[in-house]
Amino acid sequence: MLKIENLNKFFGKQQVLYNINFEINKGVFLSILGPSGCGKTTLLRCIAGLEEVQSGKIYINNRDVTHLHPSKRNIAMVFQTYALYPHMTVRDNITIGLRIQKLDKKLIQERLNKVVEFLNIQDILDKYPGQISGGQRQRVAIARALVKEPDIFLFDEPLSNLDALLREKAREEIKKILLSLNATAVFVTHDQVEAMSLSDYIIVMDKGKVMQFGTPEEIYNNPQNFFTASFVGSPQINYYKCIVTEENIILENKLKLEKFANFPQGNYILAIRPEKITFGHPDSNSIKLEGKVLFYDNLGSQFLISVILEGLIFRFISKEKIEKNTQVQIFLPIHQILFFNQQGERVEK
Same domain, 193 and 259: no
State whether 317 and 173 are in the same domain: no
| CATH classification of the domain holding 335 | 2.40.50.140
Burial class for 278, CB neighbours closer than 10 Å (0-12, 13-18, 19+): middle
Reduced to 3 states (helix: H, G, I; strand: E, B; else coil), residue 119 is: helix
pTM of the predicted model, to two decimals?
0.88
Question: What is the enclosing helix (H) or strand (E) of 167?
Answer: helix 164-181
In sequence order, what are the residues at sequence separation of 6 or more whose Cβ sits closer than 8 angstroms to the Cβ of residue 36?
A: 190
Q: What is the CATH number of the domain that holds 94?
A: 3.40.50.300
Query: Are both 95 and 202 inside the same structural domain?
Result: yes
Q: How many domains does the chain have?
A: 2
Same domain, 139 and 19: yes
Q: Distance between CA 57 and CA 4 in Å, rounded? A: 6
In a domain, 230, yes or no: no
Could you give the angle at the alpha carbon of 50 between the alpha carbons of 17 and 196, nearest 5°?
60
324 Cβ partners below 8 Å, 6+ apart?
A: 293, 294, 295, 296
d(CA 325, CA 295): 8
Tell whether 279 is covered by a domain: yes
3-class secondary structure for 15-63? EEEEEEEEEECCCCEEEEECCCCCCHHHHHHHHHCCCCCCEEEEEECCE
CB atoms under 10 Å from CB of 44, counted, come to: 20
289 in Cβ contact with 312 (< 8 Å): no
Q: How far is CA 200 from CA 18, 116, 229, 304, in A?
A: 24, 27, 19, 29
* Rounded CA separation 92/300 (Å): 44
Which residue segment(s) compose the domain that 145 sits in? 2-224
d(CA 281, CA 290): 13
Residue 233 forms part of a structural domain: no
Before 235, cis peptide (omega within 30)?
yes
Check if the beta carbon of residue 199 is closer than 8 Å to that of residue 26: no
Q: Would you write out the chain's pLDDT as a tens digit for each of its 349 residues?
A: 999 999 999 999 999 999 999 999 999 999 999 999 999 999 999 999 999 999 999 999 999 999 999 989 999 988 877 788 999 999 999 999 888 888 899 999 988 988 888 888 889 999 999 999 887 888 888 889 888 888 999 999 877 777 777 778 778 888 888 888 888 999 999 989 899 999 999 999 999 999 999 999 999 999 999 999 999 998 999 999 999 998 899 999 899 998 887 888 999 999 999 999 998 777 778 999 999 999 999 998 899 999 999 999 999 999 999 999 999 999 999 999 999 999 999 998 7
